[in-house]
Amino acid sequence: MILRALPLLAGLVASAIAGAQAVDTVKSEEYAFRVVRVVEGLEHPWGLAFLPDGRMLVTERRGRLRVIREGKLEPQPVAGLPQVAVHGQGGLLDVALHPRFAQNNLVYWSYAASGSDGIGTEVARGRLVGNRVEDVQVIFRQQPKGASGNHFGSRLVFDRAGLLYITLGDRGEKERAQTPGDHAGSVIRLHDDGRVPADNPFVGKAGWKPEKFTLGNRNMQGAALHPETGLLWTHEHGPQGGDEINVIRAGTNYGWPVITYGVNYGIGTRIGEGTAKPGMAQPLHYWVPSIAPSGMAFYAGDKFPRWRGDLFVGALKDQMLVRLKLDGEKVIREERLLKGRLGRIRDVRVGPDGYIYLLTDEAAGALVRLEPVP
């Protein structure tokens, strides 16, 4: 049923942005493509989701969930969200649809929220009815919280079995990423209603948070399912260098801050014990110096057929889109696109129409679309 609906959804998205205007043409190794501005005037947009009726949902970090309809930004944000704590890098973050959204209208969002022990990442869900969410439930609360304004994560991805993955940062307190009884610096894995799967790797293990699926992650702001294997891939910010791409596997320790290819900011001194240690995973790929990655998507559409299977990563620091050519779990080529042309790229998505969509993280940010030049 979902597959039969895809052509309709693709057509709705295409018609919704028919009035958008191209602002640039770019020549890449494989294609010439246009950069089309769909919507402007978004305040630090963070996450993007495509609704079956052709509308799009966009989060703004200051706490607003916005709707784009027929290529125009609706003036009123979606009502009914819980209070968002806008603090440092925290605010309203990612947005995702339930795999059976067409039947249940459930939308999920991650955000920073206040509690008695500070501020931390939470995840809520609600039914989208018109321009509001109803029956809102908070299904995950990071514990403990903290005072820092750094490293909240956070991406939301459903796998093929309908389980929800939440990526969390270390909150700028690196030792928390190796602490069993702390959610920080981990991938979290839950049922769609917040229950803990019985086969999570640390269930029943004394002192461990049962929601944890991994540990040793610094600050994951990109996550996507591999289109063939169905495995979750993430990327995370390193410190001064050492940004990583990882394939997420149950119970794996990804090393931060014991091992890293980054160094301490400013002074360049070593962090932890070096770049490798038994029992800790090596990244699939890493960047030195840092590109400050954010947002990530595998390309599986039909508009850029020579890009099928490639991984696209946005970059904040270098204001670019990185295309990675893969051979299994190995990067065999890297191409850097749009450097300095759009600003800080916060999110990367492939639409149901096969085009690539980007969000730019600016005070007056934009949603743009990449389309091939015939």
Catalytic residues: 151
N- to C-terminal Cα separation, the chain: 32
Task: Report DSSP letters for 305-367, one per residue.
Answer: GGGTT-EEEEETTTTEEEEEEESSSSEEEEEEESTTTS--EEEEEE-TTS-EEEEE-STTEEE
Residues sharing a CB contact under 8 Å with residue 56, sequence separation 6 or more, in sequence order: 13, 16, 48, 49, 50, 67, 68, 367
Report how far residue 182's alpha carbon sits from residue 275's, in angstroms, rounded to the nearest whole number.
Answer: 24
Helices (H), the chain: 2-16, 101-104
Contact 254, 214 (CB under 8 A): yes
The dihedral sign for the CA sequence 307, 311, 240, 346: positive
Contact 367, 358 (CB under 8 A): yes
Report how far residue 263's alpha carbon sits from residue 49's, in angstroms, rounded to the nearest whole number.
Answer: 35
Q: How many CB atoms lie within 10 A of CB 37?
A: 17
Question: Over the Cα atoms of the chain, what is R_g?
Answer: 19
The counts of H helices and E strands in the chain are 2, 24
Contact 343, 352 (CB under 8 A): no
Q: Is 230 exposed, middle or buried (0-12, 13-18, 19+ CB in 10 A)?
A: exposed
Report how far residue 70's alpha carbon sits from residue 13's, in angstroms, rounded to the nearest whole number.
Answer: 8
Closest CA to 107 of 144, 134, 72: 134
Report how far residue 259's alpha carbon sits from residue 281's, in angstroms, rounded to the nearest whole number.
Answer: 9
